Each structure stands twice: as C-alpha cells, then as structure tokens.
C-alpha cells in the first residue's frame, strides 16, 4: 500500500528533526510481515525502513523501539538503529535504519548462535522489564518478578489463557489441562538453574536476517528478561534456523539438564499467542502440548 500523504509528511518531519538534510523524495512498499505495512523511504542522502500500523495497541512501536535499543546497548548482536517514531491521522510509524540484505549462510547462522549466547549470558536484576510491550499486537505485561516460574505462569501463560477464554478459544478440556499444567510448572522448571537473561522474545526464522556483509541481524523484538531457553524454544518452533545455530549456541553457553523436555512447555506460550492472533488453526498444536504435560 502507498504511504498516505499525511504519514509521509510526518515521516519527513521526523527525519529532518533527526538530522536528515532533505525530505523524503520516494517511498516504495516492501514486505512488512503479518502485522504492519512497510516501505523503503529514500531521501537524497540515505534510505530508511519505515513500518506503520493504522490502529496499533498502546505503546506498540514505542515498545519495539525500546527493545531494539536495549539489544543494541548489549553490544552482543546487531539490530537496526532506531531513527524515530511518530503518528499521523491515527496511524503510528517507526523509522529504522535500512539494512541491505545478503543471503543466509551456515557461517552467519553459527555466528548468530554465538552472539545469542553472548546476549543471554549477563544476568539482569529480575524477570520481566520496567515497561510492558507487545508480541505482535497482543499485550505482553512485564512487571518485574524474582521468580521465573511465577512470571511465566502469570504473565505469559495466564495472560494468554484469559485472552483465549474471552476470544472463545478455550473449550473446557483445553482449559482444564492448561490450568493443571500451570499449577505444576515446578515439575519441569528448576528455578536455581534460571537467571534473568535479556531475550529477543520473538525469535522465529523471519526475525533474523543477514546484512550484505554477511553478518546476522535481529529484527522485530518483543524484549524482556526471562529464561534463555524461551528464545531457543521459539527458534525451534517454526524452522528457519539450521542445526549449526543451535550447536554454536550450546558450545558457547551449554544448556542445563532438562532443556529438551522444557522446550514444548516454552513453545506453548508462542502457540497460545498464535491461537489468539490467528484463531483455532493453532488449537491442535496447543492441545498436543497440553496432552503431553497434562495427559489426564
């Protein structure tokens, strides 16, 4: 879709305020994923990636910008620089560095694995974050907690459970098994082995790209501090990461016992999110995980 004139004018103003020496001279639509629309925006000196949404939830792009800035500040892995954000006539937008893309290679995937381990290694003060954000358009409350198990139960599974109930996506059997699983997380989670690691938060295969110089870049985060296995569980869910990525990560930062057993437990959060975003097509995968952890 072509950028509306009011939005284009607001983007030009943001770029000029950020130091651009000329207004936008051209905007070309590009793929923006399932949630947003996006464009390549050009001035006479530089190119930018702009995404926009006509009716975003509160703090939508602000949360993404904050997450990108936190990832950049870690120094562990490249992300697009945030140029600015704003709104015009009900549409919100985010302006990012334009990154010329190269092809994904085994070497880039291996480097990404090592860099993700470096991102996860330093412990943060608590699980959560000092602000809420979103995963897609879904609320992701991040009130800090000292217990990972309580955080995952209440602020990840519990939030999506309640949303699924409101959306008519939680039949009685699904609700019963989910409640039982949520009440027995200590069977699989060892709090002593978990530290609050800075997470990308939405690490599916479409959210890593490779720059023209061959280096990996992470995009579209849903950042918070959590069990590092969450990022790996999401990376395993839909494909897009070669085995060398996982091996390089494990070499740099070995996983604790029980990680393979916990992987579906952590994938459950993302599948519940997909259930709430896209409907009952994700009910089957949710139910299979619930049957595995709560068979009766």
Q: Exactly one of 202, 220, 227, 231 is catalytic; which is it?
A: 202
Burial 55-79 (b: 16+ CB within 10 A, else e): ebeebbbbbbbbbbebbbeeebbbb
Q: Which H or E run includes 163? A: helix 158-166
Tell me the residue ranges of DSSP E strands in the chain: 26-30, 37-42, 47-53, 82-88, 91-97, 133-135, 138-140, 197-199, 208-210, 216-218, 224-226
- Which residue carries 């945030």 as its tokens? 82
Q: What count of other Cβ atoms lies within 10 Å of the Cβ of residue 215? A: 17
| Residue 202 designated active-site | yes
Q: What are 224's strand-pairing partners?
A: 199
Catalytic residue numbers read 202
């Amino acid at each position: 879709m072509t950028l509306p004139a009011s939005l284009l004018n607001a983007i030009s103003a943001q770029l000029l305020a950020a130091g651009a020496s000329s207004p936008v001279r051209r905007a070309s639509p590009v793929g923006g994923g399932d949630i947003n629309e996006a464009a390549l925006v050009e001035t006479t000196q530089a190119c930018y990636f702009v995404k926009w949404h006509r009716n975003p939830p509160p703090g939508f792009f602000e949360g993404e910008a904050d997450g990108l800035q936190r990832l950049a500040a870690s120094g562990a892995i490249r992300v697009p620089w945030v140029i600015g954000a704003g709104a015009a006539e009900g549409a919100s937008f985010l302006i990012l560095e334009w990154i010329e893309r190269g092809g994904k290679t085994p070497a880039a995937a291996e480097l990404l694995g090592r860099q993700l381990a470096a991102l996860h290694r330093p412990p943060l003060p608590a699980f959560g974050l000092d602000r809420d954000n979103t995963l897609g358009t879904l609320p992701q409350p991040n009130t800090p907690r000292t217990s990972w198990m309580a955080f995952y139960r209440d602020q990840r599974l519990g939030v999506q459970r309640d949303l699924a109930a409101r959306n008519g996506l939680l039949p009685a059997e699904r609700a019963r098994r989910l409640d039982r699983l949520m009440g027995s997380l200590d069977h699989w989670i060892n709090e002593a082995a978990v530290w609050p690691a800075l997470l990308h938060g939405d690490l599916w295969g479409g959210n890593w790209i490779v720059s023209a110089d061959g280096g990996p870049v992470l995009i579209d985060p849903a950042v918070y501090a959590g069990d590092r296995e969450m990022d790996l569980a999401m990376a395993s869910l839909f494909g897009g990461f070669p085995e060398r990525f996982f091996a390089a990560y494990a070499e740099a930062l070995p996983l604790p016992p029980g990680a393979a057993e916990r992987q579906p437990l952590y994938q459950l959060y993302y599948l519940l999110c997909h259930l709430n975003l896209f409907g009952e097509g994700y009910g089957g995968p949710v139910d299979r995980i619930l049957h595995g952890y709560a068979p009766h």
